[in-house]
Amino acid sequence: MHEAYEYAQLLKLTVHIESLAAYGDHLLVGTKQGHLLMYKVTSQYGDPKHEVTLLRYSKHFSKKPIQQLAVVPEYDILIRLSDNIICVHDMSIINFPTITTVQQTKGATLFTLDVKHPTSLTGGSSVLVRMCAVVKRRLLFFYWKNGDFHPLMQDDITVKDVPRALVWCNETICVGFKGEYSLVYLDKTQKDLFPTGTKHQEPSVTKVSEDTFVLGKDTQSVLMNTAGDAVFNLAVKWSEVPIQQAYDEPYLLALLPESIEVRTVEPHLLIQSLPLKARLACYCKQGLVYVASTEHVWCVQSLPVTKQIHVLLEQKQFQLAVKLTNLSDDLEEEKAKNIHQIKTLYAFDLFHNKKFHVSMKEFLKLDTDPYEVIRLFPMLLPQQARDDAKTSVKVVELLEDMDLESGLLALIEYLTEVRRKILEKKSGDKSFESKSTQQLMQIIDTTLLKCYLQTNDALVAPLLRRNYCHLEETEHTLKKHHKYSELIILYQTKGLHHKALE
């Protein structure tokens, strides 16, 4: 575990909080009494205190509880569901005047938005806003144009029960009913997924990306794609049944009855537990989530990525460190360099944990210097180099019997693949004739020979017939192992026929 987030109480209200919406540094709070409050939340970097300013307070915004709020800042519009009908308000004017009331949504209990920023062929960008509203067992679809929501399709889509949760991912709506989950596609086909669980919980659907979402099932969360397949074999497990969830890459936050748990989807890790009793969660932007009880609002903000990465590397959580590095504000070149360093540490750690084959695959992907990999096996190095590799000896001395054989077999696979790649470039590549490449081939083949002698000496002769082995080192090694027929092959391939005759 490590500290990924810090939290601060922003508000304590005397009215009952019913809904939240947020964008940029703005927070909107809808209440059971029909009030709408708009705040500006600012904080200095590294300062846990937040400055909260009430910008607007519309006491008569709605006569009924504000069930749901959503903001499209690009159009300066606020979408509200209250009294079971959806209205759109102008946010650019202080009292949020109504732009339109979507009459077709009378009886609505829920809605979800799909906001996209397509780029035209000329390079210009636009904002496409689509809305799906729930009216009893019907899903109604709209798109925003010229200050109004227009029907997106001729007919509504009827589903098996009244949806109680939904998100929009690409051309798919993931719907949570009282007892199960389904996918509804815009071509009107539907696909059942699985039950919500045995604990009679409300369905929980959380968008992760444009093609993935998280579904709650008892004390578990399952990551699914729009095809209806589980993305990972294992589900995220919580200590209690979540009330609501929010995804803030790479973390999944679950609001539990007594706390907020922070976990990762892949790898499966418990990151942090925050002592907050919240029932509403609202993702604002990367690293910022607002949560609320009936009267309190807290800001849950991520700690600086660099600080988290430092801790994760100490804990050897390399995969998570890579994910966070990808989210950092570094320049792409610097980011790539840092990721390469972290993945290299990961590959060495895999080796030290005796996951030899996985480790070697990582070294191949990283294009690691083969000599650095061979140094992990000091017994394969020439005596002088062995003395220089004393730092590695302690690790490799532990490799005995099956571990040593497994390590050598993984190294053989690795070196064979590196050798193949080098030889592939040989034809027409003058760099192959360079001294450094010749030396590398010498090191690879000499090491392969030593590996074969310890694992499968039948492969020694075929190697020597096409070898780049270092003559003196190979000669010494073969004599040590009493491989005299192989020694003759070595002399012949090196043109030392007089030695072969001896």
Each residue's pLDDT tens digit, 452-493? 888 887 887 787 887 777 777 777 777 776 666 666 666 777
Predicted pLDDT of residue 435: 76
Average pLDDT in the chain: 89
- Matching residue, tokens 């996918």: 183
Instruction: Tokens for 451, please give them.
Output: 């590996």
Please state, in angstroms and rounded to a whole number, the distance separating the CA atoms of residues 201 and 245. Answer: 13
* Omega cis (within 30) before 304: no
Taking the complete model, does pTM exceed 0.75, yes or no?
yes
Taking Cα atoms as reference points, which of 211, 206, 210, 156 lies closest to residue 181? 206
Predicted pLDDT of residue 502: 54
CB 271 within 8 A of CB 262: yes
Predicted pLDDT of residue 277: 96
Alpha helices, H only, 230-388? 305-314, 318-327, 332-352, 356-366, 370-374, 383-388
Alpha carbon separation from 372 to 298, 347, 378 (Å, rounded): 49, 12, 11
Q: What is the DSSP string of 413-474?
A: HHHHHHHHHHHHTTTT-GGGGSHHHHHHHHHHHHHHHHHHHHH-GGGHHHHHTT----HHHH
pLDDT tens digit string along 123-133? Answer: 777 899 999 99
Q: Give 3-state DSSP helix, strand, coil % of the chain, rounded to 5.
A: 30, 35, 35
Cα 355 from chain centroid (whole Å)? 23
The residue ranges of every structural domain in the chain are 366-500
Predicted pLDDT of residue 422: 86
* Omega cis (within 30) before 267: yes
Please state, in angstroms and rounded to a whole number, the distance separating the CA atoms of residues 272 and 171. Answer: 34
Predicted pLDDT of residue 399: 65
pLDDT tens digit string along 225-242? Answer: 999 999 988 899 999 999
Task: Say which residues have a Cβ less than 8 Å from residue 419's Cβ, sequence separation at least 6.
Answer: 441, 444, 445, 448
